[in-house]
Amino acid sequence: MPEPKSPAIPATIDLAFAATPPYGTVAEPTYSGALSFLRRPYGKDLSVADVAVLGVPFDLATTNRPGARLGPRAIRAASASLAWCPPYAWDFDPLQRLRVLDAGDVYFDPGRPAEAPEAIRGAFAAVAAQGVIPLALGGDHFISFPILQALQPVHGPLALVHFDAHSDTWRDADGRVDHGTMFFHAARLGLVDPARSIQLGMRTHNAETHGFRVVDARELHAIGVEEAVAAIRARVGGSKCYVSFDVDFLDPAYAPGTGTPVVGGFSTHDALRLVRGLAGLDIVGMDVVEVSPPYDHAEITALAAASVAQELLAALAAGRG
């Protein structure tokens, strides 16, 4: 009598759908398989997650080059080359400590663009209501605003740790928000507390700080990573914080694929060291934004963004050892 055939295809790839158990890093061919972020399981059941990855394919608030709506897809694809082993600079596997769920992308009707902010806000409110920490993949930087609107009712005004070439606090009219003004409104509306917040890497002029501690590019280059990390930790202290990383914090040599590149920035090496310095902070939300694949070369910007997001997960997991 012939042996019965296996009822299923062996789960050697497509771990985004077939991984068992859901914890830990498992090697899968980088060139095939379903492209979730870091090969994490796809799903909508937030009750089984510590962290939910949500793509936000929105770029209608950009003031320069578009294309960031394609960022979440590019970051997921680039993350496949990182997913086969834990990040090298840590002595543990963050995916053993955190159950990370890729919850897909926020949907909004492109024929009703005015409804997009509420769609983003609603998606992240659902995440926060479950006590799950969101990791958003942008999308232009405007998306931080509705995300903070979703988190503030749960956590109160947050400390903001903001890496960027731009302050994104330019004064704006009530009811008008773009990707360069959303943190002005976030401070004005009490979504973030400037007195506990810090912005790093700025190299565009804005005379107003609105109470934020601003470590601009000149200062950051001068003091170096270790002093900058000390400044972050002193400013945030034990407060709940939101970490927002605009990929144009990096010099265009390291991240050409972005909407508003500014020269004189930072290397991926220094960026990853800075993110590692966040280990142990009380992080309740994170985003990596402004990847615009049409302007990228050899996926280096998408890979940088995926690497920053992976390090953010490790920094979060470091407090859960």
Domain enclosing residue 268, as ranges: 38-107+119-318
Residue 141 maps to a domain: yes
14 inside domain: no
Asked if residue 33 belongs to a domain, the reply is no
Using CA atoms, how far residue 244 sits from 13, 134, 199, 215, 315, in Å, is 32, 12, 9, 15, 14
Q: Select from 316, 318, 317, 314 the least CA-distant residue to 285.
A: 316
Task: State pTM to two decimals.
Answer: 0.94
Distance CA 40, CA 38 (A): 5
List per-residue pLDDT tens for the chain, 321 residues long: 555 554 555 556 788 887 777 788 888 888 888 899 999 999 999 999 999 999 999 999 999 999 999 999 999 999 999 999 999 999 999 999 999 999 999 999 999 999 999 999 999 999 999 999 999 999 999 999 999 999 999 999 999 999 999 999 999 999 899 898 999 999 999 999 999 999 999 999 999 999 999 999 999 999 999 999 999 999 999 999 999 999 999 999 999 999 999 999 999 999 999 999 999 999 999 999 999 999 999 999 999 999 999 999 999 999 886
State the binding site. 141, 164, 166, 168, 246, 248
Q: Which two tokens stand for residue 313?
A: 């997960």
Is 101 within the bounds of a domain? Answer: yes
Please check whether residue 287 lies inside any domain of the structure. Answer: yes
217 lies in a domain? yes
Q: Is residue 2 part of a domain?
A: no
Question: Is 193 contained in some domain?
Answer: yes
CA–CA–CA angle 106, 143, 255 (5° rounding): 105
CATH of the domain at 92: 3.40.800.10
As a whole number of angstroms, the distance between CA 320 and CA 317 comes to: 5
**Residue numbers belonging to the annotated binding site for Mn(2+):** 141, 164, 166, 168, 246, 248
Question: 3-state DSSP helix/strand/coil percent for the chain, to nearest 5?
Answer: 40, 15, 45
Q: Work out how many domains the chain is built from and give that number.
A: 1
